[in-house]
């Protein structure tokens, strides 16, 4: 006890209780931090990671919903497989209206990588004057049905003074099967 009294009488003596208090507070802080705050930090980090993952799932879900709506809209525009024969007949009739000769139009269907759809290809040669062919092609491209002119090759004729041109044409469209039927938007 005498040693403590002598220590307190030194010039730095009055600071010793404050140093003791600071040491006690530091020890208390370390104990509280390691036991309570560290576990709360870990919980916060885990909850933040969970929230970020949930947010990403929500964004993916919203994107998938938008894509599904877009696919449904495209599927609604596609012709049904049963409407393919009338489409081929419609192309032939359009050729007649435009004074274009379409002697033989062959058609076939091909499988696609998209379930519920097939690719339909109409192929043949068309002949006519330039103006008539141009009008025919324009009418095909602006038709209500979704038609693509995939290939158009000019066939050389023997006489260069002949006003008639002949093209080999390849027209494609996509059809939805009965399983791909959706309600119109």
Residue 65 pLDDT greater than 90, yes or no: yes
- 175 and 115 assigned to the same domain: yes
Whole-number pLDDT of residue 157: 64
Q: Could you give the C-alpha distances from 152 to 5, 29, 68, 172, 175, in angstroms and in order?
A: 111, 82, 34, 12, 22
Q: What percent of the chain has pLDDT over 90?
A: 35
Position 1 pLDDT exceeds 80 = no
Same domain, yes or no: 171 and 90: yes
Specify the pLDDT at position 182: 43
CATH of the domain at 175: 3.30.70.60
Q: Is 64 exposed, middle or buried (0-12, 13-18, 19+ CB in 10 A)?
A: exposed
Q: Which residue, among 130, 56, 62, has the nearest Cα to 98 in the 3D structure?
A: 130
94 part of a folded domain: yes
92 and 150 belong to one structural domain: yes
* For residue 9, pLDDT beyond 80: no
pLDDT class of 61 with cuts at 50, 70, 90: very high
Q: Token digits for 21?
A: 């208090």
Q: Is the pLDDT of residue 111 over 60?
A: yes
């Amino acid at each position: 006890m005498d040693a403590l009294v002598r220590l307190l009488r030194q010039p730095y003596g009055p600071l010793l209780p404050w140093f003791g208090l600071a040491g006690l507070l530091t020890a208390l802080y370390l104990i509280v931090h390691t036991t309570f705050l560290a576990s709360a930090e870990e919980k916060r980090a885990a909850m933040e990671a969970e929230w970020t993952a949930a947010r990403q799932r929500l964004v993916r879900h919203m994107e998938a919903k938008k894509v599904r709506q877009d696919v449904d809209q495209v599927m609604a525009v596609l012709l049904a497989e049963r409407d393919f024969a009338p489409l081929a007949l419609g192309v032939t009739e359009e050729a007649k209206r435009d004074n274009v000769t379409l002697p033989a139009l062959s058609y076939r269907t091909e499988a696609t990588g998209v379930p519920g759809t097939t690719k339909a290809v109409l192929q043949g040669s068309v002949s006519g004057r330039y103006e008539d062919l141009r009008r025919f092609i324009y009418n095909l491209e602006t038709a209500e049905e979704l038609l693509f002119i995939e290939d158009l090759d000019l066939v050389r004729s023997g006489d260069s003074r002949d006003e008639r041109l002949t093209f080999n044409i390849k027209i494609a469209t996509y059809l939805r099967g009965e399983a791909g039927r959706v309600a119109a938007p």
